Amino acid sequence: MKPLAIFLLIICSFMITSCDQDLKEHPISPKIKQQMDARKEISDPARSIAGTIDFGESIASKVPKQGTLFIIARPEGTLSGPPLAAKKHTLIKFPFSFKIGQENVMLEGNTFEGNITVTARWDLDGMPKASPDDIDGSVTVTSGSTGVKILLNHVIKVKKASIDKLVSGTIKIDSSLADKVPEGASLFIIARSEGVQRGIPLAVKKIKEVTFPYSFTLGQSDVMLPGALFEGPITIFARLDKDGDAAPAPGDIDGVIAANPGEHQVEIILNHLIEP
């Protein structure tokens, strides 16, 4: 057994020496080295911005406890388009310690450096798009800054939309379906450009615990995609949805009408029960 053990030890030693020699003869390729260096840069704290986020004293007592925190970074002076970097946090407590940097960059090839405006937003509906009653604050600093303080002290207000850009009216339930109204249902009001049946709607509004007849408005503030315009002609779908899901399902009740922005006193009758 002893000669066998010595033989195996010699073989293992030879294999280790061969592997070491092989690594020396085949160095890391430039591409892999570049990737390793890139990962090192991404994790480099010198590029990150770190600090705390808290509510301003004047509004701290009025802030809803349920919400989502969005942290968005843009190059200084850039107000639109995709952010340079973004993060989303839920189930948090304030003051909240944050860090955002190269690892959070949205588009490949962009670099987290220079003067950067960091905006924090306490979002009440959890959607990336800012809405009325959300609370935000921002600060402009240089990449690599630490100890940054962002105060959430600005309540986003409803923009005064031109009356010509709104559609308003009343939504009613057909009397024959009054006893079919699902308990606890949500009302979806969905606008699409005329002739468009699929894809992201032009504008959407969701109302919980609705009572009928219901007076509604729909306009530019309800548009889904940044840069899209609430202009006609459009088709408006109203749907009473029993499970609160955006997709229609058996038991929901809907109605539809064609309209143009600027029309008021529009009447939509929910007269179609979706069957299984």
3-state per-residue secondary structure call for 64-118: CCCCEEEEEEEECCCCCCCCCEEEEEECCCCCEEEEECHHHECCCCCCCCCEEEE
- Point out the residues of the chain with pLDDT beneath 50: 14, 16, 19-20, 22-25, 42
Match domain 47-155 to its CATH number in 2.60.40.1120, 3.90.1310.10, 3.40.718.10, 3.40.605.10.
2.60.40.1120
Sequence ranges of the chain with CATH classification 2.60.40.1120: 47-155, 163-273
Q: Is-contact 219 166, C-beta < 8 A?
A: yes
Bridge partners, residue 53, by sequence: 96, 150
| DSSP code for 223 | B
pLDDT computed for residue 159 by the predictor: 60
Q: What is the pLDDT of residues 52-66, one digit of tens each?
A: 999 999 888 888 888
Q: Give me the pLDDT at residue 69, please.
A: 97
Contact criterion met (CB below 8 Å) for 115 and 73: no
pTM, to two decimals:
0.49
Q: How many CB atoms lie within 10 A of CB 135?
A: 23
Instruction: Give residue 4's pLDDT.
Output: 52
Fold of 163-273: Immunoglobulin-like (2.60.40)
Q: How far apart are CA 208 and CA 76, in angstroms?
A: 39
Pairing of strands 234-241, 253-259: antiparallel
Residue 257 CB neighbour total at 10 angstroms: 17
Name the H helices within the chain.
2-25, 30-42
